[in-house]
Amino acid sequence: MEKNELKPARVFEQFAKINQIPRPSKHEEQMIEYLKQFAAERHLETRVDETGNVIISKPATPGYENKKTVVLQSHMDMVCDKLVDVDFDFYKDAIQTYVDGDWLRAKGTTLGADDGIGVAIELAILDSDNIEHGPIECLFTRDEETGLTGAFGMKAGFMSGDYLINLDSEDEGQIFISCAGGINTTATFSFERETAPADYFFMAGSLKGLNGGHSGDDINKKRANAIKIMSRFLYAEQSKMDVRLAQWNSGKMHNAIPRDGKIIFAVPTGRKEEVKADWNQFTAAVEDEFHVTDTNMVWSLESTEAQTVLPKAVSANLIRSVQALYNGILTMCQDEALAWMVETSSNVASVQSEDNKVIVVTSQRSNVMSNLRNMANTIKACFELGGAEVVQNDGYPAWKMNPNSKLVKITVDAYKKLFNKEPKVLGIHAGLECGLFSEKYPHIDMVSFGPTLRNVHTPDECLYIPTVQMVWDHLLEILRNIPEE
């Protein structure tokens, strides 16, 4: 399949244009200007709120004027991650895409299909003059990936639709009707660096090649977490000898499972060979442990130059805290119909060393708000025991299922009509902006769906091309069947 054969052509044309525009989270200014210009060229009404969310309104096509208004929604920002050896500036450079069989990929970076493909679908509808639909509001929110800032900042009354279709889901054939809420817990270990004891030997250990993934969608896939793996080695060695940590850097995004990391530490010179032997045994055991999910681990342990280290107590407490952190699934959903779905989880996402501090970022998710608080407090208490300063953000709410949703029925019926099979109606263990929308617009009826994406939030992100046409056809069928006022 060649790029010029991608269908629907109008959607992929818009996606290609979007990928020329830098749009890191919190830096969507160029994208906002593009949307305003796009609407002006087509004489469509545009509104931009104080936060930077954009709504472009399109009137109904003839014969559909009395239908209820539908909001189509996606977020304009993207997660920016790249392979370590790729020279790329997300604030300036265009995403380079290529076709790999039935998949669309990017050259060494995240693809931006989360949620650029949703944006592209909306723009294609706005650009079309042969689609049957009632009044439409296309909502583009900003900074979804690093705090849902756009959805948080949007005030009641900005959108006026009766139905909302979120285009930020990642498995075609799955219709989502609820999502998890979330909280970020960040710990800061502060200190004054000091010189390592005399006759200590410095080593640099690294791990790369893990699959990583989305800390909500992929938390149930038993994938290795680079931070937790490094903590296991450091804790085991610390239990045998004095380990003085100098640097620990792993992970980039608060909502991703870290896929690589590096530690620099010092041990008594007389025990360096013991550490090397332990490293070899440890790495072999971890490879065996994750022989199904992470088959491309690359390890390195080398001598390195001496540098200042963390004080002994801080180094020990940091290692203990990260070793003790709960990471992964805490509970599955109790409802029998949803027993397959993760209810509550936590992910340690990044560790970053600075001159006089080490910052550890974690994220907790749950569809049950009381257990979300319980999970977040468990992580907070662990850090507090280690002497860290702990800060938690306000979090975002879960989106509760609406058992009387008319839009769900319309969406399911349209899918069955088009594809002669039942879609899966599900909840998702990831955050969607629908949770915040439901608080400010309690009357609005919502669903979420989208084409199939894999490995989002990583440089391996890819879009399954045939599903874009399916989602496009499905969406148009839904728009034709929206009821009248």
For residue 403, which amino acid is it?
Answer: P
Q: Cβ distance 457 to 213 under 8 Å?
A: yes
Q: How far apart are CA 159 and CA 140, in angstroms?
A: 11
- Of 115, 137, 143, 144, the catalytic one is 144
Counting every residue written for the chain, the total comes to 485
CB under 8 Å to 394, separation ≥6 — which residues? 183
Taken in order 373, 376, 382, 383, the sign of the CA dihedral is negative
CB atoms within 10 A of CB 122: 26
Distance in angstroms (rounded) separating the CA atoms of residues 327 and 34: 40
Examine the residue annotation and report whether 302 is marked as an active-site residue of this protein.
Answer: no
Cβ neighbours of 326 (radius 10 Å): 16
Alpha-carbon span 70 to 72, nearest angstrom: 6
Query: What b/e sequence results for 70-94 when a residue is b if at least 16 CB atoms lie within 10 Å of its CB, and e otherwise?
Result: bbbbbbbbbbbbbeeeeebebeeee
Cβ distance 249 to 206 under 8 Å?
A: no
> What is the phi/psi pair of residue 34, to 5°?
-60, -45
**324 vs 382: CA distance, rounded Å:** 7
Q: Alpha-carbon distance 58 to 65, whole Å?
A: 11
Active site residue 85: no
Whole-angstrom distance, CA of residue 246 vs CA of residue 228: 17
- Report in angstroms the alpha-carbon separations of 315 from 189, 263, 383, 410: 9, 12, 13, 57
Q: Where are the beta strands (DSSP E) in 152-199?
A: 163-166, 174-179, 181-190
Q: Find the catalytic residue in 28, 77, 171, 433.
A: 77
Question: Which residues are marked as active site?
Answer: 77, 144
